[in-house]
């Protein structure tokens, strides 16, 4: 589920009244947040709410506090056994990730994390990386809404995931909530670079995110026809275009994603 999911909706861990609403929002994955959305004085309370929700059998990813913070160890002990996966912010050290007894989504959002992206993604516990655009932009002194400024970092993460055989990355959040255009622009850019999912901060974002990362009827038709014209795996031609192994693999990927969405 984590490897193929399109939309990951953050919910503050100290707001249990929102957990069920998030689960019913249409998002692919609920992310219960113990980090940025929760103040220091509410960390213990949030941890207990999240632990109770998971213990009741509800699936969710949990974003814990970063390694090196006062809350990291307690967060991990509380959720590792029941969370669908653990999202680790400020992911930089593969040894830390390897020590986590759960599936891990490393949130790569620092300059060191980007430069170590292959090693981070190669950790045995990692299922799929996520890109933390807001924190990285803050560290670098960049505009987080600039596609140009963060394109190299985004592409680095795509290459690292592919190099290590991990699922394609999850893009960072779009913070604009009163205008749909920035979200649509961010989705188009992420898809162009090879992302297949996105972090969301409001339930209204999940439907357009799911739609954007779902293969279109045109793509499905193309992929179906391409595979239909292949007989023994040899090079052939479809609508005037050469079809060889890379094209076949792309068609298979499109249909696999379409089957997951159906």
Amino acid 254: pLDDT: 80
CATH topology of domain 7-212: TIM Barrel (3.20.20)
Domain with CATH 3.20.20.60 in the chain: 7-212
State pLDDT tens for residues 203-227. 999 999 999 998 888 888 878 888 8
Asked if residue 65 has pLDDT above 90, the reply is yes
Determine if residue 234 is left, alpha or beta; phi over 0 gives left, psi from -120 to 50 gives alpha, anything else beta: beta
Cα atoms in the Cβ-side hemisphere of radius 13 Å centred on 33:
19
CA distances to 167, 193, 211 from 156, rounded to whole Å, are: 14, 10, 25
Amino acid 73: pLDDT: 97
Beta bridge partners of 197: 170
Model confidence, pTM = 0.90
Mean pLDDT of the chain: 93
Cα atoms in the Cβ-side hemisphere of radius 13 Å centred on 225:
11
Let me know if 230 is exposed, middle or buried by CB neighbors in 10 A (0-12, 13-18, 19+).
Answer: middle
**CB atoms < 10 A from the CB of 204, how many?**
12
Determine if residue 215 is left, alpha or beta; phi over 0 gives left, psi from -120 to 50 gives alpha, anything else beta: beta
Rg over alpha carbons for the chain, rounded to the nearest Å, is 19
Angle at 76 between CA 99 and CA 137, to 5 degrees: 85
State pLDDT tens for residues 158-187. 999 999 999 999 999 999 999 999 999 999
pLDDT band at 94 (very low <50, low <70, confident <90, very high): very high
pLDDT band at 242 (very low <50, low <70, confident <90, very high): confident
Asked if residue 43 has pLDDT above 80, the reply is yes
Residue of 54 and 220 predicted with greater confidence? 54
Amino acid 48: pLDDT: 97
- Beta carbons within 8 Å of 75's beta carbon, 6+ residues apart: 34, 47, 62, 64, 65
Residue of 70 and 239 predicted with greater confidence? 70
Residue of 222 and 81 predicted with greater confidence? 81
- Beta carbons within 8 Å of 36's beta carbon, 6+ residues apart: 89
Q: Which residue has the tokens 């031609």?
A: 237
Amino acid 233: pLDDT: 67
pLDDT band at 82 (very low <50, low <70, confident <90, very high): very high
- Beta carbons within 8 Å of 160's beta carbon, 6+ residues apart: 117, 118, 120, 121, 129, 166
CA gap 58, 14 in Å, rounded:
16
Return the DSSP state at 59: -
pLDDT band at 102 (very low <50, low <70, confident <90, very high): very high
Q: Lowest-pLDDT range, 103-112, 156-165, 243-252?
A: 243-252
Report the share of the chain in percent with pLDDT over 90: 81
């Amino acid at each position: 589920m984590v490897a193929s999911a399109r939309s990951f909706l953050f919910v503050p861990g100290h707001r249990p009244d929102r957990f069920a609403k998030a689960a019913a929002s249409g998002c692919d994955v609920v992310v219960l947040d113990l980090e940025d959305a929760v103040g220091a004085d509410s960390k213990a309370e949030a941890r207990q709410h999240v632990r109770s929700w998971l213990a009741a059998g509800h699936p969710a990813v949990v974003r814990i506090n970063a390694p090196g913070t006062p809350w990291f160890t307690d967060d991990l002990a509380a959720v590792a056994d029941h969370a669908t996966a653990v999202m680790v912010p400020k992911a930089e050290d593969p040894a830390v990730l390897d020590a986590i007894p759960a599936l891990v989504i490393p949130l790569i959002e620092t300059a060191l994390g980007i430069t170590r992206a292959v090693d981070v993604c190669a950790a045995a516990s990692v299922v799929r990386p996520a890109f933390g655009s807001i924190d990285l932009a803050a560290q670098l002194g960049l505009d987080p809404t600039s596609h140009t400024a963060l394109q190299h970092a985004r592409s680095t993460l795509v290459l690292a995931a592919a190099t290590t055989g991990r699922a394609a990355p999850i893009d960072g959040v779009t913070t604009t909530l009163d205008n749909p255009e920035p979200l649509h622009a961010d989705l188009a850019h992420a898809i162009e670079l090879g992302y297949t999912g996105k972090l969301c901060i409001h339930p209204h974002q999940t439907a357009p995110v799911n739609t954007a990362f779902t293969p279109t009827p045109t793509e499905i038709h193309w992929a179906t026809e391409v595979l239909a014209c292949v007989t023994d795996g040899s090079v052939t031609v479809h609508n005037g275009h050469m079809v060889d192994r890379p094209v076949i693999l792309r068609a298979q990927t499109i249909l696999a994603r379409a089957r997951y969405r159906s």
